[in-house]
Structure formats: structure tokens, C-alpha cells
Structure 1
Amino acid sequence: MQTKIVATAVAALLSAAAPAAAQVAPAATNYAVPAGPLGEGLSLFAAQSGLQILYPAGLVADRRNLAVNGRFTAEEALGRLLAGSGLAYRRSRSDTFVIYDPRAVRTEADDTPTIVDDVVVTGSYLAGSGSSPVKVVGRDALDRKGRATFAEALVAMPQNFGGAANEMSAGNGADRSSANIGYATGVNLRGLGPDATLVLVNGRRVAGTGIAGDFADISNLPTSAIEKVDVLLDGASALYGSDAVGGVVNVILRKDMDGMETRLRTGGTSDGGAAEALASHTLGKRWDGGSFLLSYEYYRRGEIRSGQREATANADLRRFGGSDRREIYAAPGNIMRFDTARGALVPAWAIPEGQNGVGLSAGDFDADAVNLSNQNEGRWSLPRQTRHSAYAAVRQAIAGGFEVDADLRLSDRSFDMRGYADIALMTVTADNPYFVSPDGSTSSDIAYSFINDLGAGRDSGRNRSLGGSAGISGEVAGWNVAAYATAAREIVTTRAWNRVNQTFLAEALGAEPDDPSTPFSTIKDGFFNPYGAPAQNNRAVLDFIGSAYSTSRGESTVLSTNLKADGSLFELPGGPLLMAAGLDFRREKFESQATNFYFGVSPTIGRTIINERDIAAAFIELRAPFVAAHNARPGLQRLELSLAGRVEHYEDIGSTANPKVGLIYAPHADLMLRASYGESYRAPSLRELNSRYQLGPTVLPYGSSNVVSIIQYGGNPDLAPETARSVTAGAVWTPAAVDGLRIETSWFRTVRRRNI
């Protein structure tokens, strides 16, 4: 019965639309295209008209369009858009316009092929606007935002949640996952996680970064090489596969130019810190049938120190109406006791201030006070970063109407950061000559901060990125076909130092006997004194206990080959039924290695762990226009249905299938309504599946006290993919009575399951 109802509804729709197909008067719609670079104007025109625009890439470069605001037919709007540009258009199909230069005279003997590009629309493999909201940020718009890099501009978007996967959240403790060890900048659309936002470059996947290699670092791309950024605000696994849960960010790089461009920028902040300098140079050359572009960019930005901002200078936030967030791990420290009622360690006596820790008596300790330490002291909120980036692209038309293209991206970014000072819950016994017990015990547990002994912890590292692709595209039997291969690699190396070695600390405290295998001796070098305020320890002691460090290296690699074709199947009342289909094959690999010297008398050097997997996928997309401009009628200006589906098989977690359906309905030329339903997923990363299972002790805060706890962590080979169901609806209103006004609204609901 359900099948019959659906078939009847579609048949009724076709019969209702068919008589209107005989109308010859084209319908008008409202356009809101600002003046600006012609390439951006054509993209907006394509999105608002739902038509496909074809043109040679070099043809629109360095040209600008006039503003088009108001109600026009598609041809009227396109004519106004191109006025004064020296270009013209012709209609090649009912839904396709070709832009050309009428002054270019070609002879019959001149059979040199030309390059023709589709207007790229993220969220669909078919040209024209789709049912999901897409925010397009063009090159001029990026410049107008006043940001030094496009990564800063994306992070500032209201659709992006800034609490995770960026250098600021990694440095100030807001990102509790500690996954962003390389101080990268990711995108977290709709707050669903940076690993649930898919980032593409020219529509192609890039290698991941972070401790698990599960999100993309957009800060490695040179801003000077970017043409535009498309932000798809909807789940899109039906088209792009894993990770496209919160949305998709597609960075479109410049394909060519003729000439040179140099950019210089310097800046700073009114409160100090973050002084920055940027220099870039881009050069390109066009020739008949091909082009080449090369771009280099240097960027350097200084740190922001916590003390340079009132909000971060002190962890006591009562001055802002908040709470006191300072810690009991202090300098001077607190002598702790175990509270049986709470089941936790709590401060019992405060070590007095203003003394050198020598000659204290039991009565000097204050049982009515608690020492608190400003853990923000000496810390930086933003790291110091230096980046070198380069991008090269070449393409050439060949016989048969085909085009070959290739591009290469290189980036080398280094960072330096000051983190929190080390803290410790240390046990001091009578073997330490400075030991004093306020209650006659033979040992004391002291909550202590090393801020005055060692200063802030240090973190430094390097992020190297390499990516490239090569492909061929053209037309076969009226269908657009494209095949390409990509390779991308991201290498992140880090070093944390100026930290406390717990084994050496126990030796320096006298809690453990002198170890002859170390160069340190308490008889020769002295004991560590934890009672001084300020600290009273010699350099030999501090160098010994502060010699801890750790290093890590993560290498993420993605290799893929892709084949895609799109074209029209047959004519519907509103235009051709379009279809796109393709195959994807991908290999993912993640290597990691770590060295730790926080415990023991020699570093623990971990073995290199290598995990990899193969992925195969097939997808299809259909777009059925039932009503368009040429057969519109009152109350039914546009009606379009889209369907998409993708099947993907991972060799380690199995297969998944994800559908998507979308609908566009325009009851009036001023108003377009759109809605979509889709299912998405995120495959667990290689590290989440395969990292070693471990147990470890730690001390965790519990209210105003601390609890000794056991943490279990590591991978789980039985993990299944995260899944999500998304419903998105919205409207676009472009009232003809107000030129240039465009109001968009969106509503979405995403339900996730099996979160990792």
C-alpha cells in the first residue's frame, strides 16, 4: 500500500507539472549577488539560480562583476552580472550556461583544446544549489575579515565551536582531551567534535593530526593560495563517507593566475603579545590550454602570556563574580591528611610563608589556613608559532577534450609553549634533614608546586605536512568523468621538558637511598627542601629533579584513488534528471612512537607502533527537478528532489551504508524552503582501535579535596562506528522589494549514538 501511495504521488506531480512545460515565458526569481570578483559572483549566481555555469578558469581571473539585486530571469541576471566584464554567455543545455570571450576569434584549424571548469558546489557532486545549507567564504571576504590567516577566520565562525582542537583551547586547558599535542587548528562544526567534521582540500581528503591523527589541521594551508572556503552545515556521509557528521569544510585553492602577487602584513594586540608578521609571494602563468601557479607564505606569531590578559592573569576569578580556582598544590605547599569521611586527602596545615625552610618547629604550621597557588603564573595562553608553506599547481588540456592537473602542498610549522608548572604530592620522611612534622608523624604528604623552583613547563614541537594529487578529467559520451589519485602525510613531533622526574625527586628528598647509577648524591649535592617560602634549593638539586622530559612522534598517511562520473539520464518537466556515481579506494596508516623520562633512572623508549587499514566505497547521487524557472506557476516556482547513498567497507570494522534525501520547494520567487534527512557516521581512528590497554594511578580533584584514583585507558578493537541521524530544514528569503537583502534561517537536529 505504501509503494502505491508514493507512486501515485509522483505520478500526480508529474502530470501537474507537465502542462506547464509548454510555457515559453521564462520565470523570474530574486537575486542578491554583490559586486566583487567574477568567480565568486558566478558561484553565487549558480547557487541562487540552481543552474550550471561552465567557463575557462583563466577567463574570469582578474575580472569583476556588477551587483545584481532584484527580480530577474536567469538570462537577465547573468547579463547584468557580466556587464562591463567583456564576457558573454550562451546556453548549451536547459540548465547550463557557458561563459566565453566574444573577442577571441578561433579558426577551424585551431583545434587546441581549452580548459573548462565547473563551478564547485560543496555538498553535492552535481552542479547547482542543493538542499543543505552551504556557507561560501570567498577570497575577498577572507581579506575583509581582517584575520592574518584563513584558519583564524574559520575558527571565528559562529557555526564553529571553539572549545576544542585549536591552539588556544589546547593551551588554556579548555580542551580536556589533550589530543591536540601539536597546537593545530581544527574545525568543530556544530560542536560535535573536530573528528566529526570532514575537511577537504579541493574536494579531497587530507591526513589527520593530533595524538590520534583523527582531525585535520587547517593552519598548515597558505592563506595566499586560497580561492574560497565552502562550509557545508549538514551531515554528508552519504556523499563523502566517514567523519562528515557535523558538516564538511572544503578549501578550494587557486588554480591559476597570470602575473605576480606579494602580500605583507604585520600586526599586534592592544594588550600586548601575539605580534605577527606575514609575507607571501604568488606567481602564475597562463597559456593557451594550460596554466601554472606557485605560492609561498611565511608566517610568524608571538605568544600571549597569561599575565598579559586580566581574564587569565590569576585563577582566582572572584573579581569577575566567579569562584576561586587556585590550587592547593602550592608554593609554599600544604601538609595533607587523609579524611576518612570523604575518603580523600585534604589540606591540614599550611607551610608558613616568608621563611627559608630551615629551623621550623611544629608550632610554625598553620592549621587554620590553606595555601593556594595561581597555576596560571608563568604560563602562556597562546603558543609562539612559525610556519613556512608552499603550494604549486599545474594543469594542461590535452587531445580529446581532456585535462590533466596536479598540485603539491608543503608546510613546516614549529611551536614553542609554556604550560603549567609541575605539581606533586610528595612524601617527606625523617631522612630529609629539613623534615618537621606538625603532629609528630614520621612522614608527611605535601601538596607542592614547583613554580618557584623550575618555573613553567616547556613544550615545543614541529608539524610537517605534505600533500599532493594528480588527475585527469573530461567528457565521454556526454558525461563528465574524472579520475585522480591523492597522497597526504602529516608528521607531528613534540617535546615536553623542564619537568619533574619522580624517581629523582624521591632520591633528592631522601625518601629513597642514593642511587649510584645517577650522578647525584645527597651527601655531595644536598637534599631537596620543600618547606622554604620562597624556595631555597641549589642548582644541582633543581637540575637533577627537573631533568624529566617526554617526546612523541605521530605520522598519519592517507593514500586514495577515485573515479567519478556525472551527467543527465533523461528529461523531466523541470529539466534533466542528473546523476553522479563513483568509486573510492583509500588506505590509512598511523605510526606513533613515544619516549618517557618521568620515572626511572633512564628514559623509557617505546617501540614504533604501526597500524593501517584499507577502505573501499561506492556512491550515487540523483537530482530530479520537477519544476524550474521555465515551467513555474503561482505557488510552485521550484520543486526539486535529491537522493544520495554511499556504501563503505573498512577492513577492520566492517561495512556501513548511509542514505540522504533532500527537498527544495519555492512557493514564491522570493522564498525558497529546503529540508534534508541523512545518516552519517564516524569510523573509530586507528589509535582508538589499536592502542595498548593500560591502567595507571593518579590523583583527581573531588570538590575541595583530592582522591587517589586508577585510570584505565587505551584502545578497543571491538569498537563500532559512531552513527548519527540528522534532520535539517531552512528557508531563504530574498524579497524583491529590498534590493540586496537575503535572509537565511536554518534548523537542525542531530542524534548521535555509540559515541566513542
Structure 2
Amino acid sequence: MSVLSVMLMCRDALAGTNDSFQFDIPKQALTRSIIEIGKVSEISIIVPSHLLNGIKAKQLDGVYTPKQALEILLRPTDLTFRAINRKVIAIVPKPKDDSSDPITEYSVEELVIIGRQVTGSFLDRTDLHGSSPIDIITGHELRISGSQSVAEFLRFIPAVSGNSTSTAISNGGDGTATVTLRGLPANNTLVLLNGIRINAQGLNGDSVDLNSIPSAAVDRIEILKDGASATYGTDAIAGVINIVLKKEYDGFQLEQYYGSSYKNDLETASTHLLWGKSGDKGAFLISAQHFDQNGIFSRERSVSANADGRPQGGVDERSTATPNSRITLNDGSTVTLDEATINTPTPRYRDATKDDLFNFFSQTSTISPSLRQSVFLSGHLALSDTSTLSLDASYNKTKATITLASTPIFTAFESEPITVSRDNIFNPFGEDITDVRRRVLELPPRQQENTSEAKRISITLDGLLNEAVWKINGNWSRTSARESVANLLSLPRTAQALGPSSNCPGTDLNGCQPLDLFGPLGSINEQQLAFIRSSSSNRGVTSLKGITGSINDSIFELPAGPIQAAVGFDIRREKIESVPTGENALSENIGNPLGSETVGSRSIYEVFLETHLPIIKYRPGVYSFDIEAALRHSKYSDFGNNTSPKFGIRYRPAANVLIRSTYSEGFRAPSLGELFAGDFQSQLPLVDPCSTLVSIASLPGCIGQTDDTRTQYLTTFLGEPNLAPETSRSYNIGIVWTPRFNKDLHISIDQFNIDQRNIVSSDAQLILDRNALFGDFSDLVVRDTNGEITNLFSPFINIGERKISGIDTTIRYIYKFKNKGYLNYTLNTSYLQEYAFKLDSNSPFENLAGTFEDAANEGSGALPKWKANTGVFFAYKIFEFNYSINYISSVSEEIPRSRTNERRTISSWVTHDTQATFKLGKRKNIKLTFGADNIFNKAPPFSAAAFNDNYDGRTYDIRGQFLYTRLVYLY
């Protein structure tokens, strides 16, 4: 076959050429440029490769109709374009004279019109408007956003809410970045790279680390906002994010970016190199990026400077582990050093007050410094007129450094409680003491360093068999991650140093040195620190290898068009290994508990079927009516089988109106971490109802009033190999309208519903609440004789149900000026009507839409009812200007430890971003950009329930006004 045929038609070809689109096509082979015009404008273009061999096309940047774009690209050639019929445009030779007809000279019988696979389908479609809503974020939109990472851009997508992570998460973060569609956990959103699954993050991960994707090589992002288990299998309950990397480039590009906040911190520098070569038989490109960003400390922003949130409407979250120890004696009194007597011969102690607390925010980082380096290679080669071999490979290295407050000691609440002996030489009270709380400021703040290396390779062979399109892909991805934490304390050595002096003589400098927790700051000297100082490290590796294959074709012709069908298979092997490493691997620490070992693997075998049936076309009142269906059967080696169906309809009462609806069933297989995780301990920021409610006697799980100054509790997480998969049902209905009176206006409204059951959770706060309020989980909550929690076990279990519903709206409008400038307006909104959750069949639903509960407390994060962004882009000759607004509506939160369960409102948040670009040079091949994010320096709203920095770093941005410049050179 001598014809490369491409696609994309949702309306008549001739009519479609009158609509305007934003094109951002680099200098490359003419064949590829014409294909890109078809992709963007969604029209069918037949590209005969024998006519275009060796022809290069110039860069095309701006808003044009497809007709104008084709005229510009074909003007220097001997080619033109014509309509073959009402569906297809063909590239043909220019007429030799007025009497000749290029269409009659062109053999259309030999053409095979194929389509393009879009996220959510294995069919080669000629209509990108399927029954499921898909947002396609182009490279142009990514560039004008100013974002330097995929995660940074996705944070303000309206459909994204809840507990996404990034380097803005300090305590509890690990330098990775995830995305959460519809407020569901990150493991409910399937992230693909070029349509292929990739492995999860390295340390006990069950979701993809977006920081491991070479962001400089991203060509576009496709977001499927619908359940897609019938198409892709597990994890696609909330939707799919397909990150498509560049495939072809002809030339050289150098980009340098620099930015910093209004306080001259968070300095960010990024260098990107791109080189590519394309020809008639194939193409090759290489992309490399170096990204370096400094951090911000909590103390450097007013909202996060103090853990005492009372002045901002919250509560005092400062720590009871203070530089001068808080000591609880056997008579129940709590004392601390009297500062006025510290320098006297006989220091005295006084009763501790609720103001004797430590502001640990004075030491912590709120945005961690990060370093990313990546290399991406892509190439394809035409093996024949009907088959192509493609290869993608990438290497990505990341590093993030998180600063945590100096290690605290809570002798009564460590994993192994410590008793300060009456015979300790520094103990002035003459009695054994079980509860001493001390912040060891003699040690520097804890330094947590997270590094990872991600390697991926994907090889694809595709082609035509008669008129069928087939594809087979082999892929391998592996991430090796390491986390190390310095400036910790060894638990057994600290216990020995606080025990009887006979067990710790202090005479050998290499042996035990008695520990002084009773003196003022500085009483713990270097000899004592040398004995108790420790560190920890964990290493994790995840990998995925697989092979997928599919074939699709038109199998039968109906009056309304051909029936399309695709069948395929997917076989993959997943592995995870996470183990403690280093000289202290088997020793428990204070400040970062002993890491756990997680080792597991599984094999997955899947087959799938998809079909598209055109039922009615070109009848009165029915321009077209189609049915879509898909089915996937999965067999897992560790929990069993699953079958997921999907059905969709597309009804066009007129050519410019589409009504679409889908029903799908989905599932999420328990992750390897959830199944095989070893015991892992952490001090979680939880609220014990026994410390906050007045009627303690009426609570079955409470022995008595507990310490209301405690903010963290030792929690042990456990894997569960007998977990069942989560299941879901999704319903969607929507309308897409392009008015006849203005085809440059596009409006879509989609209503979504997700009903999820059998949720896998390890919710320590829920277990604690149920234990106190109802006496449940008595085997998981361990209390001492006074009712204080000494350990809380939080295994992964199948619980509860979620019901989520809402409405997405998109408006796009392009206005072209007579002087060839244009203006592009966009509006995207998402309204979360319901986010209902219930624990079990006997519990009522609680609607969490419009609320915030911190992820550190095992909550769902911020779930604003409204999230929106809107923007205007203007271009004229050598000048481009973009202005955008991001909006997040207010949410309510429960004030921690309030005795009446008092709630407050976290205010709405609006930020404004702007960017201006100038095209310089004779060939306009130099682009100079100046940009400002959050130009009015809007601080994130205060949150009383946020564990990190008094705001929700997963939803809002603390950096304030951020200025940047970018220089791009094209050759």
C-alpha cells in the first residue's frame, strides 16, 4: 500500500474547514504536519506518501481554519487539496491546466481511511467525540500555563481534587507527585504513558509518580473523565490520564527557564534541549532536561510560621515535646524547668502550662528543594508501506530534601515505652518517671532525602493487514527509590542511657553515656548525642513488564455505516520490594520508626473486546445514532477474576449537537503494597474522642479523660493478603453543542456519577472514632490503665461505599480579528454535587462535598463544590498574551479537639496568572516569555485541621506571587 491515510472526522470535511483551531506545529516533514492538522481539526485527510516524500514544511503557529492551514503548508509545493466526498479531503497534485480535474486523475479506490486511537478506546476512530468526555490539553496550553511539571499543571484542573501529592507536602511527603480525579485516592486514577501502563512509585507505591515522567517531552495530556476498566482494567475507576510524549521533531530547540517568588526564594531553573530529525521512512528525537528548584521553609510565610493557629481562627497545634522537658511525676503533676532559675546553682521546676509548647514550624520545610534530570528518546521506522516499528525510552532521576523538626522524645508513647530510672544520674526527683517529653534541639533538624531512578522502554510494531489495523507492544518500566532520614535517635540506646547508671557508667567514650533530659537546652552534650544519634534508610523497587496486542477493523457494513470492532490481550507482571537498609536497618529509632519489609509480585492476564455500531444516520430528527460497547476479562494470580463491561450511546439530532451517555462497571485490584506490606509504624496526627468530648462516661471505648495536649499517636499499619477488589458503577450523560451561527464556539456539559463499593482503606482515625464512640475494634486500639493510647493498629480492610456526582462544563471560543490576530477564550468548571461516604450497610451516608479533612488524619482532603479556571489568550504577529484565573470555592472543616465539634469555613481562593511572549529574530525563531503566577500575591486560606503548615498543600499554593522568564531558541 502506497498511501498513508489519516482520519479524524466529526462533521463534513468541507464544513469542517471553516472552523478555527489553534495550531502549534513545529518545522518537520510535510506528511507529519498535515497529519497534525487532521488531528487538531478532527477532519479526514488522505495523505498519499509518494507525493510528499522528502518535502519539509515550515512551522505553523497560530489560529487558522484547516483550509487556511493547508493552503499555507502546500503553497510552496506542487500540491493542493480537494474534497473527495462529503467525508474526506485528499492531498492531490495541482492541476496542469484549467481543464484537468485532479480528482479524476487520482485513484481513490486504493485508499484506506483509518482513524486514530484516543484515550478510552482501542478503535481507530474518525470521530474524537466519543460517548465519554475527554479533555485534550495541547502542548500550546501547557506552554502558556508556565508550569514546569505535569503535577503542577494538573493541580488546577477542575476535575482534580482531594489528596494529590507534590513537593509541597513536607511532613508525610516523599518527593513524589500524584493526581486524584474526582477526589478519589490516587490509586483510583489510571496514569498511562503513550497509552501504555507504567510501574508505580518505588516505595510501597500503588500509584504513578508524575515526577518520574520527563515533563519537557510532553506533547499533550488526554484526560478521560469516566470509568474505563472495560478498556484498561484496574485502577481506572475515577478516570484515565494519558500523558503523550513527543513523537517527531525536525530541528533543534534550546529552552532556558528561570523563576523565583516575590520573596526571592523558591528559585527555579530549568534547561531543556530537544533535537530531532524526520524523513520519509521514519523519525528520531532526543529530549533532555535539568530542573533545579530551591525550597521554602514554613517560617518564611505568615500563614505557616506558627503551629499555634489560634490567632487565625484555629487551635494550638504546637508540640508538647519542648526544649525544656515536660515531666509528668507519679503524683500526676506536670512540671518543667523554671527559666528564671536555669543559670542558678539549684535550678527549680514549676508547673507546666498549656503555653509550654514548641512551635515545630520554626524548623520545617513547606516546599522541599527538588532536582530532576531526564532523558527521553523516541523513534519510528517504516519497515514497509504497511508496517512501522516504534521505540520510546526514558531515564528520569529525582531528588527531594524534606526538613522536619528536631527529633522529639515521648518516653511513654514510643513503640517500646521508656522509663527514666530513679537511678539515672541526672534524675533529680528520686522516682521512676514514665512520661518525659523533650525536643532534642541539640540535634539539627531531621533531614529526609528521597531519591529515585525511573527507567522505561516501550517497543511497538503496528501496521495494516488488508484493511485491519493491528498493533503489538512490549514494555518494561522500573523505579528504584531510596529514602534516608538523618538526625534520629536510637530507641534501645536512648532507653539504656535513661536507665539505671549501673547499666550506663559513662566511663567509656565509645560506650553508653547517661542522657540528661532534665537540664535546659544544651544539657545534652556531644558525648551523649554520639551514643544515641541514629539514622534510617529504606530502599524500594517496583517494576512492570508486559505485552499487549490489538487488532481493529470494520467487520460489517450497515446502512448507517460500518461496524467497527477491536479485540486484544494484555499480559503483565508486577513486582514490588521495599526493605530497610543501612547499618541501623534492624534497629528501632525515635523520630522515624523502623521501616518494614514489603515483597510481592503477581501476574495479570486480560482479554478485551470493543465495538462501535452505527444504528441510524441522516434521517429526520436523527443526524446519527451510534452504540459503543466494551468488555474486559481479567485474571489475577493473587485474588481471582473480574469482568468489566461498558456501554455508551451517541445521538446527534443535528450535525452540530451531540448527546452522549455511558454506563460502565469498574474495579481496582488491591495494590501489592496493600496486600503484602509488612508492619510499619508512624506517629499520626489523630484526635482521640476520649480527650475532647465531655461525656466520657457515656463512651464505651473510653476509660477516662485522656491528655488533650497530645496531637500524635503511634500507629502500626498492616498489609492484608485477603483483600477483595474495589468495585464501581459509573453513569454519565452530556451534551456537546457547536452553534450553527458561530462554529468557533464550543460548549459541553457532562453530568457524572460514581458508585464505589468495597473500598480498601487503612483509616486510623476512623478506627479510633469507632472504638471510642461504639466500642468497635477493641483489638486494634491499645490503651493503658489511664485510657491513654499506647498503640493503634490500622490494617488494610474492605469497608464502606462512596457515591459521587457532579457536573463538568467547558466553553471554548475563538475570535479572529481582521488584521489576522485572534483571541481564544476558555472556561472549565467542575461542580461536585455529592461525595457521600458510609462505613458499612448499617451506617448512614455522610456527604463530604464542600468539606476538608486532612490526609494526615486519613481524610479525603479538600473537596470543594466548585472548582474552575478561565483564561483569555491573545496573539498578534510577534506578540502573544495570556491571562488566566483559577478559582476554588470555600470548604468547611471541623476544628480539631473542639469539645462541641465546632466547624469553621476555609475561605474560597482565587489566583490570577499572566504571561507575555515576544517572537524575535528575522525568522521569529527566538521566543522570549515573561510570566507571573498569582500576580496579586494571594496567600492560601488558613486551615485549622491541616497538619502541615496551616494550609492544604495538596489543593492550594503557598509560594505567593511567582515571576519567571523563559527563552526559547529554535533552529
Query: 1:190 aligns to what?
Result: 182
Match of 1:462 in 2: 451
CA distance in 2, matches of 1:158, 1:25: 32
Q: Work out whether residues 580 and 586 of structure 2, in 8 Å CA contact, stay in contact via their aligned partners in 1.
A: no
C-alpha change, 1:303 and 1:751, in structure 2 (3 Å) is same
Alignment partner, residue 697 of structure 2: none
In the TM superposition, 1:138-153 aligns within 5 A as: 138-153=138-153
Measured in 2, the distance between the counterparts of 1:410 and 1:61 equals: 31
Greater displacement, 318-327 / 156-165: 156-165
Cα 1:501–1:356 shift into 2, 3 Å: farther
Indicate yes or no: 2:471 matched with 1:482.
Answer: yes
Conserved? CA contact 1:514–1:521, under 8 Å: no
- From 668, 671, 690, give the equivalent of 1:682: 668
TM-score normalised by length of structure 2 = 0.65
Report the alpha carbon displacement of residue 321 of structure 1 after superposing the two structures with TM: 1.9
One-letter amino acid of the structure 1 residue matched with residue 146 of structure 2: G
Structure 1 distance, partners of 2:730, 2:524, is 60
Q: CA deviation at 1:378?
A: 1.1
Which digits, 9 at most, give the CA deviation of each residue in 1:50-105, with x for residues without a partner?
A: 8688798998975437646xxxxxxxx743553423275567898665667879x9
User: Aligned-pair distance for 1:712?
Assistant: 4.8
- Residues 272 and 308 of structure 1 are in contact (CA less than 8 Å); yes or no, is this contact kept in structure 2? no
Residue in structure 2 matched with residue 74 of structure 1 by the alignment: none
Task: Map 1:158-197; keep pairs closer than 5 Å.
Answer: 158-161=158-161, 163-169=163-169, 171-173=170-172, 181=174, 183-197=175-189
Do residues 446 (structure 1) and 433 (structure 2) align? no
Number of the residue aligned with 2:608: 619
Q: Please report how far the alpha carbon of residue 46 of structure 1 lies from its aligned counterpart in structure 2 after TM superposition.
A: 5.6
Task: Read off the aligned partner of 1:397 and give its amino acid letter.
Answer: A
What pairs up with 1:208-223 in 2 under 5 angstroms?
Answer: 208-223=200-215
Q: Does 1:85 align with 2:73?
A: yes
C-alpha distance 61-683 of structure 1, shift in aligned 2 (>3 A): farther
SS at match of 1:261: strand
Q: Is the 8 A contact 1:529 1:535 kept in 2?
A: no
Counterpart of 2:211 in 1: which secondary structure? helix
Partner of residue 412, structure 1 = 397
In 2, distance between residues paired with 1:117 and 1:519? Answer: 81
Secondary structure in structure 1 of the residue aligned to 2:135: strand
Query: Structure 1's 355 and 83: CA in aligned 2 closer, same or farther, altered over 3 A?
Result: farther
Aligned CA distance change for structure 1 residues 604 and 162 (closer, same or farther; 3 Å): closer
Code of the residue aligned with 1:153 in structure 2: it is F
Whether 2:189 is the aligned partner of 1:202: answer no
Using the alignment, how far apart are the partners of 1:122 and 1:253 within structure 2?
14
- For 1:500, what is the secondary structure of its paired residue? strand
Instruction: Report if the CA contact (8 A) 2:442-2:524 is conserved.
Output: yes
- Measured on the aligned residues, the alpha-carbon RMSD in Å equals 3.9
Q: Which residue of 2 aligns with 1:17?
A: none
Query: Over residues 1-39 of structure 1, what are the superposed CA-to-partner deviations in whole Å (9 max), with x where a residue is unaligned?
Result: xxxxxxxxxxxxxxxxxxxxxxx9999689864332258
Aligned match for 1:727, one of 723, 731, 742: 731
Distance 2:359 2:625 in 1: 61
2:531 aligns with one of 544, 549, 552:
544
Cα gap change, 1:591 to 1:597, in 2 (>3 Å): closer
Q: In the superposition, relative to structure 1, how do residues 455 and 712 fare at CA in structure 2: closer, same or farther (>3 Å)? A: closer
CA distance, structure 2, for counterparts of residue 306 and residue 227 of structure 1? 35
Cα offset, 1:124, TM superposition? 1.3
Equivalent position SS for 2:168 = helix
Q: What is the Cα deviation at residue 732 of structure 1?
A: 2.2
Alpha-carbon distance in 1 for matches of 2:504, 2:89: 81
Shift of 1:210: 4.6
Q: Which residue of 2 aligns with 1:502?
A: 491
CA contact (8 A) 2:597 2:677 kept: no
* Alpha-carbon distance in structure 1 between the residues aligned to 2:46 and 2:362: 57
Amino acid in structure 1 at the alignment position of 2:313: G
746, 749, 759: which one pairs with 1:745? 749
Q: Which amino acid aligns with 1:458?
A: Q
Cα distance in 1 for partners of 2:587, 2:238 equals 38
One of 8, 12, 21 as aligned partner of 1:34? 21
Q: Does 1:528 align with 2:515?
A: yes
Q: CA deviation at 1:479?
A: 0.4
Query: Aligned to 1:332, what secondary structure does the other structure show?
Result: coil
1:124 corresponds to 2:110: no
Write the distance in 1 (CA, Å) between the matches of 2:112 and 2:531: 66
SS in 1 for 2:359: coil
> Structure 1 length normalisation: TM-score?
0.82
Amino acid at match of 1:575: G
| CA distance 1:749–1:503, change in 2 (3 Å) | same
Is the Cα contact below 8 Å between 1:137 and 1:230 reproduced in 2? Answer: yes
The 3 A distance-change label for structure 1 pair 93 and 161 is: farther
Question: Which residue does 1:715 correspond to in 2?
Answer: 719
Distance in 2 of aligned mates of 1:566 and 1:387: 39
In structure 2, runs of 5+ residues without a counterpart are 1-10, 26-31, 96-101, 106-110, 412-418, 692-707, 761-971
How does 1:353-364 map onto structure 2 within 5 Å?
353=339, 356=342, 364=349
Contact 1:55 1:117 (8 Å CA) reproduced? no
Aligned residues: 694
Counterpart selection for 1:241 from 233, 240, 247: 233
* 2:155 aligned partner, one-letter code: V
Inter-CA distance 712–328: structure 2 relative to 1 (3 Å threshold) = closer
Secondary structure at 1:692 match in 2: coil
Counterpart contact for 1:356–1:531, Cα < 8 Å: no
Alignment pair present for 1:591 and 2:577: yes
Cα distance in 2 for residues equivalent to 1:543 and 1:53? 75
Q: C-alpha displacement at 1:141, in angstroms?
A: 0.8
Partner of residue 16, structure 1? none
Given residue 421 of structure 2, which amino acid in structure 1 is its aligned partner?
T
Cα 1:582/1:63, change in 2 over 3 Å: farther
- Superposed CA offset, 1:133-173 (max 9, x none): 1111111110100112233112332222253332223x145
Distance 1:274 1:590 in 2: 34
Amino acid paired to 2:614: P
CA contact (8 A) 2:511 2:531 kept: no
Q: Which has the higher contact order (CA 8 A, sep 6+)?
A: 1
Q: How does 1:296-695 map to 2 (within 5 A)?
A: 296-336=288-328, 348-353=334-339, 356=342, 364-426=349-411, 427-437=419-429, 441-443=431-433, 445-450=435-440, 452-511=441-500, 513-514=502-503, 520=509, 527-545=514-532, 547-595=533-581, 596=585, 598-599=587-588, 610-628=599-617, 631=618, 633=620, 635-692=621-678
The answer to whether the 8 Å contact 1:31/1:734 transfers is: no
2:257 is aligned, of 265, 273, 284, to 265
Cα pair 1:30 1:669 within 8 Å, conserved: no
Measured at CA, do residues 324 and 50 of structure 1 come closer, stay the same or move farther in structure 2, by a change above 3 Å? farther
Q: Give the distance between the partners of 1:67 and 1:354, measured in 2 at CA.
A: 74
| Structure 1 residues 337 and 668: CA distance shift in structure 2, 3 A | farther
Offset, 1:707: 9.7
Q: Within 2, Cα distance between the matches of 1:399 and 1:369? A: 78
Give deviations 1:633-687, integer Å, cap 9, x for gaps.
Answer: 4x43332211111001111111100011112223344432221111111111222
**1:147 corresponds to which letter in structure 2?**
S
Deviates more, 1:420-429 or 1:40-49: 40-49
Aligned-residue sequence identity (percent) comes to: 26
Given the superposition, is the C-alpha separation of residues 361 and 285 from structure 1 closer, same or farther in structure 2, using an over 3 Å criterion? Answer: closer
CA 1:152–1:566: 2 relative to 1, 3 Å: same
